[in-house]
Structure 1
Amino acid sequence: MVSEIEKRAAGVAAFLAMHRKGAGFVMPNPWDAGSARILAEMGFGALATTSAGAAVSAGYRDGVAAVSRSLILENAAAIVSAVDVPVSADLEDGFGNTPEVCAETVRMAAEVGLVGGSIEDVTGGPEGGVYEMVEAVERVAAAAAAAREVGFVLTARCENYLVGRPDLSDTIARLQAFGEAGADVLYAPALPDIEAIRTVCAEVAQPVNVVMGLRAPFYTVAELQEAGVARISVGGSMARAAYGALERAAAEVFQAGTFGYVADALPGGELMGYMRGEALDKRD
């Protein structure tokens, strides 16, 4: 019988092997166990959590340091337990300022069964901003050392374009430094166009993740593959799409008193077909 340790090690190896320049595999972002089940059953080979989706599911805003590490890891653990594909996690800023906390977060993420996760260089809190280069690299280096200890695919994120610092040269320099510090995958959300994406992919040695669905312009999988992208995520966009459907359905009922939204709803039998059928150990 395969142990949980062996299962996770196999998942780490399989996940890392997916990251080839130009592979452009899509790694969608479920926000709970149910959405994870649907995505895995549809055939996606790997999934990643979304901090925005997890935050909203719990009734919190994202991006203002309102969500705790324990909440994010509990959400991730539920997703890991729901599917048989590798799961990576959005670990935000590592949930602390120091390199030691970033390393601790990586170890804790591995303990709940995650095969990988991302650490941002954003300083967190409502004011935003990014760490100075030296401090940012120290944080990635500590996380990477912990990742090597536990078997974990570390993604390092440069948040320049999300916090109003549209500096491609600095972004590339940061990503290169993160790669040299031991990150396995590099990621700069909200790059302005396909040429910037192509330049980043050409200038760094590690595989590059690009997010689609965050903000325009949007490119096809084929276009991103041609640019050299190894991995494509969708961030919180699928969660927002689901909540958008909820808002439209509620508005129809509240304002018009009609129930036409049901025509676009997933049939109950189909929805349940995606879910696990075994009974829980206990029923309260």
Structure 2
Amino acid sequence: MSLVDDFRALHRGRAPGDPLVLPGPWDAASARVFVDAGFPALATPSAGVAASLGYADGEVPPDEMFAAVARIVRSVSGAVPVSADIEDGYGLPPKELVERLLETGAVGCNLEDSSNANGALKDPREQAEWLAEVRSVAGGAVFLNARVDTFIKGVSDPGRAIERARLYVAAGADCVYPIGAPQEVLPELRAGIKGPINVGAGPASGSALRELGALGATRITFGPGLQIRATEALREIAAGLG
């Protein structure tokens, strides 16, 4: 099987309490650490990569983001699939977006439904149409994770997230990511959404991550949490050198 086939297979048939845990490398060195630790796939965080490049989240020029993803993919030499957080697609036409993603060697991507330009939620039907274009261009070559930003934009009603998620799944998304969803609404999201659900978490024990799986998470990512934790550890080391 190809790496994208491997990646899709990792999302299928997972038992409750056994989520796919995807660490988020922010550079080549961290990617190698996670692969050496035995994780079967990786998912880059845009905020973590931004920090490694000296930018605030959302301010990385697309050329630099794609180059960073390519270095991460190259560093693991095809050992595991890599999915890339490419924010809201940088305003690129679907064909160019898919071409540039595949040039990095990544087999999946995370696409947000709020705008990098003004932070506003996009119209869900227009977003679904755009995702359908991305899917049409990519075919089966890209695992598409559609982020649902309602919770982080102050819309607390799980029903609104479910409505968007259903549109995105119908448009061809392989997985949906209701970022910022409170833990207590995960069973409702699980009941209302067909297909894999990505849940965000902070660095946590395996038992805590399994609990998220039992509540409805198919896979778990960490955003910039691991990069932040590593930076804190380095700060402590630096303080001890004085």
Q: TM over 0.5, yes or no?
A: yes
The one of 63, 69, 73 equivalent to 2:62 is: 69
**Structure 1: segments with no counterpart, 5+ residues:** 1-8, 258-284
The one of 71, 79, 86 equivalent to 1:78 is: 71
Distance 1:243 1:163 in 2: 27
Distance 2:151 2:232 in 1: 25
Q: Deviations over 1:33-71 (max 9, x none)?
A: 1100010011000001111111111111103xx111111
1:182 is the counterpart of 2:177: no
Q: TM-score, normalised by structure 2?
A: 0.91
Q: Which has the larger radius of gyration?
A: 1
1:133 is the counterpart of 2:128: no
* Other-structure match for 1:3: none
Distance 2:219 2:99 in 1: 23
* Other-structure match for 2:88: 93
Change in Cα spacing, 1:103 to 1:118, as seen in structure 2 (3 Å) is: farther
Q: Deviations over 1:158-192 (max 9, x none)?
A: 11122222231111100010000010111111101
* Other-structure match for 2:228: 240
Return the letter of the residue paired with 1:169.
G
* Other-structure match for 1:202: 191
1:35 is the counterpart of 2:25: no
The one of 36, 40, 51 equivalent to 1:56 is: 51
Distance 2:95 2:129 in 1: 11
CA contact 1:106–1:117 (8 Å) conserved in 2: no
Change in Cα spacing, 1:240 to 1:102, as seen in structure 2 (3 Å) is: farther
Distance 2:46 2:200 in 1: 14
CA contact 2:112–2:147 (8 Å) conserved in 1: yes
* Other-structure match for 1:24: 19
Return the letter of the residue paired with 1:28.
P
Point out which structure has higher relative CO (alpha carbons under 8 A, 6+ apart).
Answer: 2
How well do the aligned residues superpose, as a CA RMSD in angstroms? 2.0
Deviation of 1:102 (Å): 3.9
Deviation of 1:219 (Å): 7.7
CA contact 2:125–2:167 (8 Å) conserved in 1: no
Distance 1:104 1:188 in 2: 26
Distance 2:229 2:137 in 1: 35
Identity level (%):
38
Deviation of 1:129 (Å): 1.5
CA contact 1:185–1:209 (8 Å) conserved in 2: yes
CA contact 2:40–2:80 (8 Å) conserved in 1: yes
Task: Give the secondary-structure state (helix, strand or coil) at the position aligned to 1:155.
Answer: strand
Distance 1:53 1:244 in 2: 13
Return the letter of the residue paired with 1:176.
R
Once the two structures are superposed, the pairs formed by residues 252-267 of structure 1 within 5 Å of their partners are 252-253=240-241, 257=242
* Aligned residue pair count: 236
